Structure 1
Amino acid sequence: MTTATLDLTPRPGAQPALRRVWRQGLLETRLMIRQGEQVLLALVIPVALLVGGTLVGGRFGLDRDPLVGSVLAMAVWSTAFTSIAIATGFDRRQGVLERLAATPLGRTGLVGGKIVAVVLMTALQWVVLLGVGLPLGWRPSAGFTTTLVMLVGVVLAAAAFTALALALAGTLRAEATLGLANLIYLVGLVAGIVVSPAALGSPWRTVVELLPTGALGEVMRAWTGSAPAPWWALLVLAVWALAGFLLARKVFRWTM
């Protein structure tokens, strides 16, 4: 009669790369949701603007359909830029990035996790905002081409905003990142996210249309308002995404 032996030999090993990135992304998303300031930027302010603008915007010449597009653009802007910049800045100050970079997750996995968090948080915002917009009377009516431009534009804008956020958080102190990120967030609302470049007049219209905030705002307002697809905006967003990536790669520092 033979007896089975129990093998207690340690077999350390990391999970597959995609699983590591996915789990890190879920963690980053939960951390965003738990922080009051992040929830304020991500959900409370956009929902309040959508409801308030729909109810009283007609008195100030604000149409409902473009307003929905502006608020959806605000969701991408607040999550991909402001939230990522602030969270990364404080993680860097506290030494979290340095420690995570030394784990099997690695630097690439850490950045990948932040991208996953941006996608998940933006999807959550859009579900909530569209869920609010439908009872207020907005209905999707964009064609296939405009929808395709919107989807590509959102991906490029998220990439550009995330890269610029990492460049900001990777060079400044956490407190400076917090203040500057919030200031840039407010400027971005006027520079195309909420205020259309057409409302600014020349020459500011041309300047804002060349910013990623202006390009994204035009893409979203075209989609929700059934305007012609702004193909030029994709080129603007692609240039900013590439420039942001190169800048972040050059200046980002993992430690203070």
Structure 2
Amino acid sequence: MTTPQTGPQHGPRAGAAGTFSPRPGAAPFGRMVLAQASMEARLMLRNGEQLLLAVVVPVVVLVAAVAGSDRLSLDLDHPAVDVFTPGVLALAVMSTSFTALAIATGFERRYGVIKRLGSSPLPRSGLLAGKVLALLLVQLLQLVVLSAVALGLGWSPEPGVAGVIGVLLIIAAGTAAFASLGLLVAGALRAEATLAAANLIYLLLMACGAVVLPATAYGGFEGLVQWLPSGALGEGMRDALIDGTIAWPAIAVLLIWTVLGAALSARTFKWE
């Protein structure tokens, strides 16, 4: 007859329900998404090129546009800083949601990061949610920095409650639209081609897409540029911060681009 051991036990501890502590298995979905978003945001801010696109370029554009507004001979209905600040905020959303996301995702595909994440407990929906949440975190930093610079240049916004809601809605719609388009470019092209295409599209939209300048500055092309995602984002931001209104037509245009970009991305995106 043997006697039971009463000494200390080592190894996994059995719980009351026959499980072990710590319990094996994946973390809760929300915790995985937050961890992924935190990592994505840190990587984005540590990358010099992406930090340049996210913060430095919009600040330079804002200061240069306000300082040189007299030489542009634009017929503006409001002070230059009030007109250019919403456009530069829209440019910041575009630079992060489209260009930075496309370039980062393209090189993640090249080095097999996306493929390995696809085989982890984090589902594809969680990976996408983590990337979008990281974009929103970086955009919050952009909003703080650019607003501080604009206030130093004399910006005095009074959007009211409707304007604040309009800003939040247009940022959300713009982030969704440009993120879907960025993933479309990154998933269909090689990393080097993605780098070139994303930067080229960014420059073209910044110059000709009615994001920084109002659509009225493009003369006969005013109606056309408002259908571009950049034009819709810029006009929606100006409506919210200058007129204090919610730009529902601009939001609708951005949602159309979101659906189009997401549908094409689902068909063409390659994980490696």
Change (3 A) 1:15 1:227: closer
Residue of structure 2 equivalent to 1:200: 218
Between 1:84-93 and 1:44-53, the stretch displaced more is: 44-53
* Distance apart, 1:153 and its partner CA: 1.4
Shift of 1:89: 0.3
Q: Which residue of 1 aligns with 2:81?
A: 64
Deviation of 1:38 after TM superposition, in Å, equals 0.5
CA distance in 1, matches of 2:166, 2:241: 12
Corresponding residue of 1:47: 59
Q: CA deviation at 1:31?
A: 0.8
Letter in 2 for 1:47: V
Identity of aligned residues (%): 45
Structure 1 position 141 matched with structure 2 position 153: no
AA matched with 2:230: T
CA contact (8 A) 1:143 1:226 kept: no
RMSD: 1.7
Report Cα offsets for 1:217-241 as digits up to 9, x if no partner. 0011223323654321111111111
Instruction: Give 2:108's aligned residue.
Output: 91
**Residue 112 (structure 1) aligns with:** 129
Q: Corresponding residue for 2:95?
A: 78
Which of these residues, 17, 39, 48, is aligned with residue 36 of structure 1? 48
- Cα separation, 2, equivalents of 1:211 and 1:15: 40
SS of equivalent residue, structure 1 residue 137: coil
> Which contiguous aligned blocks of 4+ residues in structure 1 show a shift greater than 6 angstroms?
none
CA contact (8 A) 2:184 2:264 kept: yes
Could you tell me whether the CA contact under 8 Å between 1:66 and 1:222 is conserved in 2? Answer: no
Match in the other structure for 1:121 = 138
Q: TM-score, normalised by structure 2?
A: 0.88
Q: Matches of 2:198 and 2:135 in 1, distance apart?
A: 16
| Rounded Cα–Cα distance in structure 1 between residues aligned with 2:135 and 2:27 | 22
1:41: how far off?
Answer: 0.6
Aligned-partner SS, 2:153: coil
Contact kept? 2:108, 2:114, Cα under 8 Å: yes
Deviations for 1:125-146, whole angstroms, at most 9, x for unmatched residues?
1011111111221122113223
Q: Which moved more, 1:10-19 or 1:117-126?
A: 10-19
Q: Deviations over 1:111-156 (max 9, x none)?
A: 1111111101111110111111112211221132233222111111
Q: Which runs of 5+ in 1 are unaligned?
A: none
1:191 aligns to 2:172 (yes or no): no
8 Å CA contact 2:173–2:255 kept in 1: the answer is yes
Is the alpha carbon distance of 1:142 and 1:167 closer, same or farther for their aligned partners in structure 2, counting shifts above 3 Å? same
Find out whether 1:3 has 2:15 as its counterpart: no
The answer on 1:158 being equivalent to 2:175 is: yes
Please identify, of 216-225 and 96-105, the stretch whose mean Cα deviation from structure 2 is larger.
216-225
Aligned match of 1:16: 28
Partner of 2:227: 210
Residues 1:142 and 1:2: Cα distance change in structure 2 (over 3 Å): same
The structure that has the greater radius of gyration is 2
Q: TM-score, normalised by structure 1?
A: 0.93
